[in-house]
């Protein structure tokens, strides 16, 4: 197994006095999809926020390509190779598609405007449209394309399938697989269990701020007992 591009060790994160993450450790390797599962409110999004620095952990370490980043501010963490596809997509409503991709551009890697347009030909057709005029699926493409334009090593995806039609989710699955094949370390937070089990290599299950299960996705797909216990399905 290759060395992990993202390495989270014994992270404790609080919202005020509320102790949300209680010693979470996980790793995401290059060229692999690591799924983070769990019921609502178990700390999945908080983990994403801890990695990107929106809610820095109070204890524990976050390493990106071996370098500790948990004391850095968000923009410094992003510059060290962390891309984020946020929950709810959060595109810029009053910038055009092309402006949003250009604004994100950090040259020095494989991804460029043309590369993103080749991945999502639909965005090329819509490049002069404003973010607010896009459909949910197009917004998701834009959110992914925007993160890719920063040429990240680690891609954090927070509930990318949320609110998308089944056909669009299938396209999303293929996109995630293609990104994995380019060598990205993908950390995927998902409520859509079939999607996660289908595309992920490794799964972590969070419950009440702790990792309660960790193993290959194929094992979890077979193990009905663990799924029932921690995911309620």
Report the distance separating Cα 157 and Cα 217, nearest Å.
Answer: 17
Residue 2 binding another protein, by CB under 8 A:
no
Q: Is the dihedral of CA 172, 145, 67, 59 positive or negative?
A: negative
Give the sheet arrangement for strand 18-29, strand by strand: 18-29, 4-15, 59-64, 67-68
Which of 18, 66, 75, 108: binder of another protein (CB under 8 A)? 75
Q: Tell me: does residue 132 bind another protein (CB under 8 A).
A: yes
3-class SS of residue 203: strand
Q: Which two tokens stand for residue 176?
A: 């995630």
Stretch that binds another protein, among 17-25, 37-45, 100-108, 223-231 (CB under 8 A): 100-108
Q: If binding means CB under 8 A, how many residues of this protein chain bind another protein?
A: 25
Stretch touching another protein by CB under 8 A, among 39-47, 129-137, 175-183, 188-196: 129-137
Nearer to another protein by C-beta: 78 or 172?
Answer: 78
Report the C-alpha gap between 198 and 219 in whole angstroms.
Answer: 12
> Least distance to another protein from the beta carbon of 54, Å?
7
For residue 130, the minimal CB distance to another protein (Å) is: 7
Per-residue CA distances from 132 to 14, 85, 95, 136 (Å)? 34, 17, 8, 10
Taking CB under 8 A as the criterion, which residues in 109-128 touch another protein?
none
Nearest CA to 138 out of 127, 151, 148, 152 is that of: 127
Q: Are strands 202-207 and 4-15 parallel, antiparallel or unpaired?
A: unpaired
Nearer to another protein, 61 or 87 (CB): 87
Of 38, 86, 137, 209, the one binding another protein by CB under 8 A: 86
Taking CB under 8 A as the criterion, the residue among 69, 116, 141, 146 binding another protein is: 146
Which residues lie near another protein (CB under 8 A)? 52, 54, 73-75, 78-79, 84, 86, 90, 92-95, 99-100, 102-104, 106, 130-132, 146, 150
């Amino acid at each position: 197994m290759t060395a992990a591009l993202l390495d989270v060790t014994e992270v404790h994160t609080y919202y005020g006095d509320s102790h949300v993450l209680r010693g979470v450790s996980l790793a995401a390797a290059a060229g692999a999809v690591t799924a983070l599962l769990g019921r609502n409110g178990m700390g999945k999004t908080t983990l994403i926020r801890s990695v990107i620095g929106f809610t820095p952990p109070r204890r524990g370490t976050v390493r990106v390509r071996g370098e500790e980043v948990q004391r850095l501010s968000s923009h410094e963490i992003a510059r060290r190779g962390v891309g984020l596809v946020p929950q709810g997509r959060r595109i810029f409503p009053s910038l055009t598609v092309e402006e949003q991709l250009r604004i994100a551009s950090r040259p020095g890697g494989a991804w460029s405007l043309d590369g993103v347009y080749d991945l999502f030909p639909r965005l090329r057709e819509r490049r002069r449209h404003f973010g607010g005029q896009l459909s949910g699926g197009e917004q998701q493409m834009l959110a992914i394309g925007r993160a890719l334009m920063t040429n990240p090593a680690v891609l954090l995806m927070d509930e990318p399938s949320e609110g998308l039609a089944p056909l669009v989710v299938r396209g999303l699955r293929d996109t995630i697989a293609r990104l994995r094949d380019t060598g990205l370390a993908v950390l995927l937070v998902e409520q859509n269990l079939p999607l996660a089990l289908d595309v992920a290599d490794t799964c972590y299950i969070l419950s009440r701020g702790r990792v309660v299960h960790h193993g290959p996705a194929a094992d979890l797909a077979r193990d009905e007992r663990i799924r029932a216990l921690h995911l309620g399905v």
